[in-house]
Amino acid sequence: MYNFFFYAVPEHFPFLLQGALVTVELSLISMLLGTLLGFFLAVGRLSARRTLRWPLDAFVEVVRDTPLIVQLLLIYFSLPEAGIVLSAFWAGIAGLTLNLAAYLSEVFRAAIVAVDKGQREAAISLGMSPVAVYCRVIIPQAALASLPTLGGYFIALLKDCSLVSFISVNELLRHATIVISDTFDSMDTYIMVAIIYFMMSFVSARIIRYIELWLTPSNRRATISVPLTMDKEGAR
C-alpha cells in the first residue's frame, strides 16, 4: 500500500495518463469515422441495387466474423506487402473504424427500418421527394433512436483500444507494459490501468447520457415557460 501510493503512483501515473490520452484520441477519431462509415454502409445496404449491395453485405459479414485483433494485425503487418503502409496509430484507427462501422451499420439499418411507417407516409403526402423524406424525416429519427446504442459502442470501443497495443501504438496498455518492464511491478501498474479505464468509461458514460438527454427532442424545449401555457390551456 505504502509503496503504491507514495512510490508507484507519483512515479508512473503521468506516463500512464499520456497513454490514456492516446487511447482517448484513438477512440474519438475511430468513433467519428466509424459512425460516418457505418451510416453510409447502412444506407447503401438498404438502398443500393443487389449488385452493389452484396459487397457491402460481405464486408460487414467478414468483419463481424473475425476477431478485431486479427484485423489489426492484418492491417498493420500485411497491408504493407500490398504497398499500403500505415503508421501504427493510423493502422489502429483503420482497424477500429472498419470494425466499428460494420457493427454500427447493423445498428443504423435496424433503426432506419424501425422508423414508423406513418412518418414516411406523412412526409410523402406533403409532396416531399424520396430524398427529402429520407433526409428530413427518416434519418433524423433513426439517428435519435440509435443514440443510446451508439453510446454503448463508444464505451466498448474505449476498451477495445487496448488491443492496438499489440501493433505497438503507444496507448494506455502499452505504456503499462513499458512501466512493468522497468519496475517489474505488474500488480500496482495494472491496478492503476484499471482505475484509469474505469474513470474514462465512467466519465464517458455520464457525458453520453448528458448528450442523449440534450438531443432528445422533448427535453430540448425545457427552457420555454411551459407552466404558463399549460395553465392557460387548463383554464378553459
Partner 1 sequence: MTEPRPPVLMVRQLRKTFQGNAVLKGVDLSLHEGEIACLIGPSGTGKSTILRCLNFLEQPEGGEITFFGQTLCAEGGNSNIFRIAPPRILQAARARMPMVFQHFNLFSHRTVMENVVEGQVVVLRRGRAEARDRARDCLARVGMLERADFYPDQLSGGQKQRVAIARALAMSPALILFDEPTSALDPQLVQEVQGVIRDLSAEGMTMLIVTHEMRFVRSIAHTVHFCEGGRIAESGSAADIFGPNAPPRIQTFMEVAHG
Contacts with partner 1 by CB under 8 A lie at: 116, 118-119, 121-130, 132, 136-137, 140-141, 144, 217-218, 221, 224, 229, 232-233
Cβ atoms 115, 141 nearer than 8 A = yes
Nearest-approach distance from CB 110 to partner 1, in angstroms: 18
Give 181 or 223: the residue with its C-beta nearer to partner 1. Answer: 223
Cβ of residue 129: shortest distance to partner 1, in angstroms? Answer: 6
Q: Which residues make Cβ contacts (< 8 Å) with residue 18, sequence separation at least 6?
A: 170, 175
Q: How far is the CB of 115 from partner 1 (least distance, A)?
A: 9
CA gap 67, 38 in Å, rounded = 18
CA distances from 38 to 94, 212, 229 (A): 13, 19, 42
Minimum CB distance to partner 1 smaller for 37 or for 124: 124
Smallest distance, Å, CB 45 to partner 1? 23
Closest CA to 137 of 157, 156, 153, 117: 117
Q: Which is nearer to partner 1, 66 or 229 (CB)?
A: 229
Half-sphere exposure of 112 (CA within 13 A, CB side): 21
Q: Decide if 107 contacts 35 (C-beta within 8 A).
A: no
CB nearer partner 1, residue 87 or residue 129: 129
Closest Cα partner for 185 from 12, 19, 6, 20? 12
State the minimum distance, in angstroms, from the CB of residue 143 to partner 1. 9
Closer Cβ to partner 1, 137 or 169, answer by number: 137
